Structure 1
Amino acid sequence: MDGSSTTPPPGVRPGYRIGDWRLAGPIGAGSWGTVYAAEHTADGRPAAVKILRTDLLAPGQRAWMEELVRREVRFSLAAEHPHVVRTHAALTVEDPDHPELDGLTALVMDRAEHSLRDLLADAADGPLPDAPRLLREIADGLAHLHGRGWVHADLKPANILLAPDGTVWLADFGLAAELEGSHAYVPPLGSLDHVPPEWWSQRTGQRGATVRPTADVWAYGVLAHQVLTGGRHPFPGRTARARALAAQTYAHGGAPLRLDGRLPPEWRELIGDCLLPDHASRARHTAGELSRRVRRPADAPRPRRRAARRPVLLAAGAALLATAAGAGVLLASDGGPGRAAAGASTSASPPASASVAGTLPKDSDVPRSLRPYITTAAQRCAGEEVTPALIAAMLKTESGFDPHARRKDEFGIAMWTPSVFRAWAVDGDHDGRKDYWSPPDAIASMGSFLCWLDERFKESGLRRDLPGLIAAGYRTSSRVVIDTGGVPARTRGYVDQVARHLARYSR
């Protein structure tokens, strides 16, 4: 879905000169080409030079690229702002001795230190350092663009640059478009993780695809969720296409919006407004409004501290997202671990520290090595009923904390059926694999499933003895519990065992 190839053009070596700028080594690759560090030959001013690989494009694509370059330069001249990167010049490489370079286009821009994508790649669980300022400056730059009558149309972490002093610069305006009334036209390109759901159903005319400022508002909501959660996308899926399909399912009413349970309420509300399912719903939430809202002192979250006390958990809708088979987001069913089921996988938090594990009694028989994973699995759920004590009580009842437990076709510490585990699998120890024999993976996946059961029962009006209902749903299915209107008789013995352990672990 990106534009031209990001293969560096051959023949560009340190010291190569384009106009008044001398290039150093490459510092990154974007959707449209390779970016090099550079300095002015006269005064040594630093810059970044982006060379666009127009030589690899078909004639029609090349014409589009030329229009994108003209748009980017025109935009940069019209949108002077401290949070918008400046494009100083657009040059054509003239080098007949190097045919592979002759005729290529080069854009000379402010040089950034790194991008928001770099920060997210190195992020720990929880908000990025200085997250409120980052989001405030992104909103300010976006409000300025919209106020000048432009839509960015490709807002994503790679296009949020950070100056050496940490200042945010919105960048990469190859798709930026000038509004003609309420909308503009752009080529049918974009980053799947950040395009709004309606992008998929639009037809592309001769002038391109229709884009509105609400597309940037949607992208800002995704960005804000990522910045405040250490990179978590608000829609589940292993690939960008799977996450985009999950967003479409939500927009079509197939599932409610599920945000990270630890978001402060003001940010939860703001992100929810940005991620309203259609253009008309989002239209009342302008970038200018976002810029004002992020200035409220109460909106400022703090980076997560490794404290012994569990953070307050906030209410949020929980759901699984239904999409076509093979897309990476699976259809939710009513099965428990011992029954057929499927669901959307989510990424897991890094293990909590030993101090956080103190939410379980120190003298209990819950293995110390498992406590961080149990606590983290509970903290990821917005439902207050899904606590470390409940997860520990269910693990005790299922396997006695034995990672090698086996019963018919159920295995491991949480007694997952392999087919069901694949649907709910979470990589609890971040080793790149999801294995039901792995206690961290099994516990993280259990937490995800229990959270879904909690929300499912609440939506159905079942609120009495939710821990017991959740335990019964895990052993049978949500549908059996809902149809029964409570704990089914055949699970009463199991639920009673969980209740006894829960009482011990809740001291």
Structure 2
Amino acid sequence: MIPGARPPGERPPDVPEGYPLAGYRLGPLIGAGAWGSVHAAHGPDGAPVAVKLLGPARLSPGQRATMAQLAQREQRFSLRADHPHLIRTLAVLTVEDPDHPALDGALALVMERAARSLQDLLATARPGTPAPGAGRILAEVCSGLGHMHRAGWVHGDLKPANILLMPDGTAKIADFGLTTELEGTHAYAPPLGSPDHVPPEWWSQRTGARGVVLRPSADVWAFGVIAHQLLTGGLHPFLGATARARSLAAQAYARGAAPLRLDGALPAHWRPVVAACLAPAREERERTDLAALVARAVRTPAAPARRAPRAVALACAAAALALVGAPEPEPVPGPAADAADAAPVRPAGAIPPGSDVPLAYRGMIEDAARRCPEPEITPALLAAMLKAESGFDPNAARPETGEYGIAMWTPAVFDAWARAAAHPGPKSYLDPGDAIAAMGNYACWLDQRLKGRGLTRDLPALVAAAYRTSDKTVAAAGGVPERVRPHVEKVLRFLADYGG
């Protein structure tokens, strides 16, 4: 769904269990977004389906017009979509029920029901480790996307939440609310999108009477981001502590002010795919032969120690080559490997074996460090900071300053930084996993802020100082403030002990 219409925290309209709709019976809520909700349902024959309700309730006139436009786009494309890697719409209905004003007049799209989304899969992935089946999923998404582009359509909102995984694992693109038909080289869509997956030129485009200009190159960019996330266990290629920071990093890269820094865990034979998709100029992306790049990636042998069945790699290549109607690739002698099975690169500053960092927290610390692109934010630095803050005690507390838990969070500050943690739902500063993830986000942001202020020397010490004070305080002092110097020296001693 597209963010921006439903007021924050507002629940979607209640739908009674078993609510009848043209022979379908609606069940529990699966998910909700700004413009509607999705419910599990069963058809007249008992087959499982999903019903998306795009409702008119409690919308301003402008929002109502936008919702109607999105509904028309989704309906128009869904009825024409016919590809094994695009979610099929089985029926399009209008709810007529004056007794339920919140539902009366809503558009209902009856669709295939998936088991989960790619976003759900990434939420369980470990940074630096490819998600299961990543190569196959990418080939299937690439195939569906290519079919759309050849038919003259642009998806416009490709992201993990809009890629669904069926019960058998098949990947299918869904959510066609921004999908629009090309008029020559471009199309028009409402100025809506997901900040983590829109191309850098999206931010500088003007909105005209028909919306913003949308091109297939926007989908290519989004595919590159998704490929990087899938193959590195959820890591964004333009990492930052917030979506805004990541979008700014992408814009700086597009201006030539920063290089493209793909994560070291990205398998070598997928790096050309991601780099081409993330070309800074849209014209470069428009010339990208995505099908050929993906086919080459899935056919390239990976590290000998982690080989996948030859049949899997050839199936991935066949799906990718279907994008341009190319023939199935000739068999490759010997076993071929799914690129997703390439062994990850161990990060610099890793926690050494035999150190005093508790085993229960090592994976959490490594994951937190992996989510930051700044080389100074290593597992060893985060471990040294945690040891200096609490001695790795999850029950540590300083009531006089209002700091608690393994990372000594002030609850209000924690709430601001926990939003970027890997998993959805409530988070607690007393939970070591949540506290360490938030520390990684905050430390990463501090590192970036300090560099932006021109402080580029002794960054581990400055980050530790800023964590105790703020980046503004460190900048004003021109280095480590005297009042936190003993604490910072302690962090640096622990960092040296860990080989950092």
Aligned to 1:109: 111
Q: Deviations over 1:260-306 (max 9, x none)?
A: 222112223322222222312322224434543443244612287xx
Provide Cα deviations, 1:339-384, integer angstroms capped at 9, x if missing partner: xxxxxxxxxxxxxxxxx96x546xx788878876787788789999
Contact 1:16/1:24, CA 8 A, preserved across alignment: yes
What do residues 113-135 of structure 1 show as CA deviations (whole Å, max 9, x unaligned)? 11112222233332211111111
Other-structure match for 2:82: 80
State the match for 1:190 in structure 2. 193
- Residue 27 of structure 1: aligned partner: 29
Question: Who is 1:207 aligned against?
Answer: 210
CA contact (8 A) 2:239 2:372 kept: no
Post-superposition offset of 1:154: 0.5
CA contact (8 A) 1:261 1:381 kept: no
Q: CA shift at 1:433, angstroms?
A: 7.8
Aligned partner (choices 117, 134, 154) of residue 131 of structure 1: 134
- Whether 1:276 aligns to 2:265 is no
Q: Which runs of 5+ in 2 are unaligned?
A: 303-337, 397-409, 448-457, 466-492
Q: Which residue of 2 aligns with 1:349?
A: none
TM-superposed deviation, 1:198: 0.7
Report how far residue 163 of structure 1 moved.
1.3
* Equivalent pair of 1:90/1:106 in contact (CA under 8 Å): yes
Matches within 5 A, 1:135-214: 135-214=138-217
Q: Distance in 1 between matches of 2:379 and 2:12?
A: 50
- Whole-angstrom CA distance in 2 between matches of 1:158 and 1:91: 24
Q: Tell me how far apart the structure 1 counterparts of residues 361 and 166 of structure 2 sit (CA, whole Å).
A: 42
In the superposition, the TM-score normalised over structure 2's length comes to 0.65
1:14 counterpart (18, 23, 35): 18
What is the identity percentage for the equivalent residue pairs of Structure 1 and Structure 2? Answer: 52
- CA distance in structure 1 between the partners assigned to 2:72 and 2:123 by the alignment: 32
2:103 maps to 1:64: no
Aligned equivalents of 1:91, 1:395: Cα separation in 2: 56
Q: How far does residue 97 in structure 1 lie from its aligned partner after superposition?
A: 3.3
Contact 2:272 2:293 in 1 (8 A): no
- The 5-angstrom pairing of residues 248-267 of structure 1 reads 248-267=251-270
Give a deviation string over 1:159-215, Cα, whole Å, max 9, x none. Answer: 111112111110110110111111111111111221111111111111111011111
Deviations 1:359-415 (A, max 9, x none): 546xx788878876787788789999999899999999x99x9999xxxxxxxxxxx
Change (3 A) 1:58 1:115: same
Paired residues of 2:180 and 2:188 also in contact (CA < 8 A): yes
1:222-248 deviation digits (Å, cap 9, x = unpaired): 111222233222223343333223322
The alpha-carbon deviation at position 85 of structure 1 amounts to 0.6
Aligned with 1:161: secondary structure? strand
Instruction: Report what 2:331 is aligned to.
Output: none
Describe the shift of the 1:393–1:282 C-alpha distance in structure 2 as closer, same or farther (beyond 3 A): same
Taking a change above 3 Å as real, the CA distance of residues 118 and 313 of structure 1, as seen in their structure-2 partners, is closer
- Residue 55 of structure 1 is matched in structure 2 by 57
Amino acid of the residue matched to residue 61 of structure 2?
P
Paired residues of 2:20 and 2:26 also in contact (CA < 8 A):
yes
Whether the 8 Å contact between 2:3 and 2:33 is mirrored in structure 1 is: no
CA distance in 1, matches of 2:434, 2:5: 41
Question: Does structure 2 conserve the Cα–Cα contact (< 8 Å) formed by 1:7 and 1:34?
Answer: no
Letter of the structure 1 residue corresponding to residue 339 of structure 2: A
- AA aligned opposite 2:267: P
Q: Distance in 2 between matches of 1:242 and 1:444?
A: 15
Quote the offset at 1:52 in angstroms.
0.8
1:94 Cα deviation from its structure 2 partner: 1.6
- Structure 1 partner of 2:488: none
Amino acid in the other structure paired with 2:286: A
User: Whole-Å Cα distance in 1 between the matches of residues 145 and 368 of structure 2?
Assistant: 36
Q: Which of 223, 226, 232 lines up with 1:223 in the alignment?
A: 226
Given the superposition, is the C-alpha separation of residues 73 and 374 from structure 1 closer, same or farther in structure 2, using an over 3 Å criterion?
Answer: closer
CA distance in 1, matches of 2:11, 2:287: 41
Distance in 2 between residues matched to 1:97 and 1:74, nearest whole Å: 29
Cα distance in structure 2, aligned partners of 1:64 and 1:503: 57
Counterpart of 1:301 (choices 340, 345, 354) is: 340
Whole-angstrom distance in 2 between the partners of 1:119 and 1:288: 24
Matches within 5 A, 1:408-423: none
The answer for unaligned runs of 5 or more in structure 1 is: 305-309, 315-355, 405-417, 454-468, 477-499
Distance in 2 of aligned mates of 1:60 and 1:378:
43
Which moves more between the two structures, 380-389 or 140-149? 380-389
Give the 3-state SS of the residue equivalent to 1:123 in structure 2.
Answer: coil
How many residues end up aligned between the 2 structures?
423
Residues 14 and 302 of structure 1: CA distance in aligned 2, closer, same or farther (over 3 Å): same
Alignment partners' CA distance in 2, 1:95 and 1:444: 46
CA contact (8 A) 2:115 2:164 kept: yes
In structure 1, what residue type is equivalent to 2:258? Answer: A
Matched position secondary structure for 1:50: strand
Q: 1:248 to 1:311 in 2, by over 3 A?
A: closer
**Equivalent runs, 1:310-325 vs 2, <5 Å:** 311=345
Give the conservation status (yes or no) of the 8 Å contact 1:73–1:89: no
Secondary structure of the residue that 1:55 maps to in structure 2? coil
Using the TM superposition, give the Cα deviation of residue 106 of structure 1 relative to its aligned residue in structure 2, in angstroms: 0.9
Q: Secondary structure at the match of 1:236?
A: coil
| Partner in structure 2 of residue 2 of structure 1 | 3
RMSD across aligned C-alpha pairs, in angstroms? Answer: 5.2
